[in-house]
Structure 1
Amino acid sequence: MFAQLIAQSFSMDDATWKRHANPWCFWTRLSVLPLLFLAAWSRVWLGWGALVLVAIALFWMWLNARIFPVPKSTHNWVSKGVFGERVWINRQQVPIPSHHRHVPQFLTVFSAIGMVMVIWGLYTLELTITIMGTVLIYIGKLWFFDRMVWLYEDMKTATPDYHSWLY
């Protein structure tokens, strides 16, 4: 599963997931895509040096989930969305309700269409296409995240582990 692969590639253990549930982590993480896109665009001025900026943006994405403290309370939209992502990733082990199965997959495809537009826009240096693709990615991501809040609300009593995340 793609979501599990992503979580594993970023070494998302329990401690990291707890920090990732901090609202500051979520809102600052939204800066990663513009930083990556700016890094890709900067190839015009920096040539291969733009890869340094790409590395910095990727490092920021990895570091972001680790630098913020565990939130004092998880009774907020962001924390519940992060918990919903964990539930989504774990859906093979703990089945989720059928009404939660298809929309997140649709939204992933929706965001992927935006990513194709961004890649094309960055390749051709077409700012309008790049911005339109970025907007699609963010709409898909934020809508997906909102669905993860709903998923967590429906699943928070499914296991003692899920329930323990809320405090």
Structure 2
Amino acid sequence: MGSTTRGSLRSRLEATFWERHANPWSGGTRILVYPVLMYAIYKRNRRLFAATVAFIAVNPVLFPRPERTDNYLSRIVLAEREWLDEGNGTMSLDYPNVLNVLNIPVTVYAFASAIRRKPVGTVLGTLGVMVLKLWWTDAIVKETGVTGRGPDEEPNSAE
């Protein structure tokens, strides 16, 4: 009995996580938080760094479940959930996951540039990370065909 209860609790927690993370404010602020993180590293601002990391950690559950998910930022999250539920993973040499693999050296470059206080490298690296991540999310939205749901649809009818 205990494992069934845990399984259903886990399923409910995962569903709550994804439903709240599908709020466009969650996706939008998560995109914008990366430059703030890089700025905090570049400026050696420990408080901003700690606040940014804390925000990244709570972001997926910080915002309420949205009434509609037929906007692009919600569709990104819904597509990611579907992509992972289908067992596709996020790292491989197949498209679109190769974009995440390519993002590893770009991320290292961005962090190294910020740590060394190289402004051009920090900006270019940060932009590169963001472009590759948004390219990947756009690709999985297209691959999964997720459309989200409008205000007059039932919560699970189009997801």
TM tier, shorter chain?
0.7 to 0.9
CA-based RMSD: 2.7
Unaligned runs of 5+ residues in structure 1 are 1-11, 157-162
Aligned residue for 2:128?
Answer: 136
Which residue in the other structure is 2:118 paired with? 126
Which of 57, 66, 69 lines up with 1:62 in the alignment?
57
Aligned length: 138
The one-letter amino acid paired with 1:91 is E
**1:19–1:67: 8 Å Cα contact kept in structure 2?**
yes
CA positional deviation for 1:123:
2.5
> TM-score, normalised to structure 2's length?
0.74
Unaligned runs of 5+ in 2: 1-12, 149-154
Q: AA paired with 1:122? A: A
- The residue identity in structure 2 corresponding to 1:32 is V
- Deviation of 1:25 after TM superposition, in Å, equals 1.2
Offset of 1:165 from its aligned partner? 6.3
2:99·2:136 contact (CA, 8 Å) conserved in 1? yes
Aligned letter for 2:20? R
Cα deviation digits, residues 109-165 of structure 1 (max 9, x gap):
2322320211220222111011111111111111111112113217x9xxxxxx936
Partner of 1:3: none
| Seq. identity, % | 28
More helix by share: 1
Q: Residues of 2 paired with 1:21 and 1:165: CA distance?
A: 15
Q: Secondary structure at the match of 2:145?
A: helix
Where do 4+ consecutive residues of structure 1 move more than 3 Å?
none
* Contact 1:80-1:152 at 8 Å conserved across structures: no
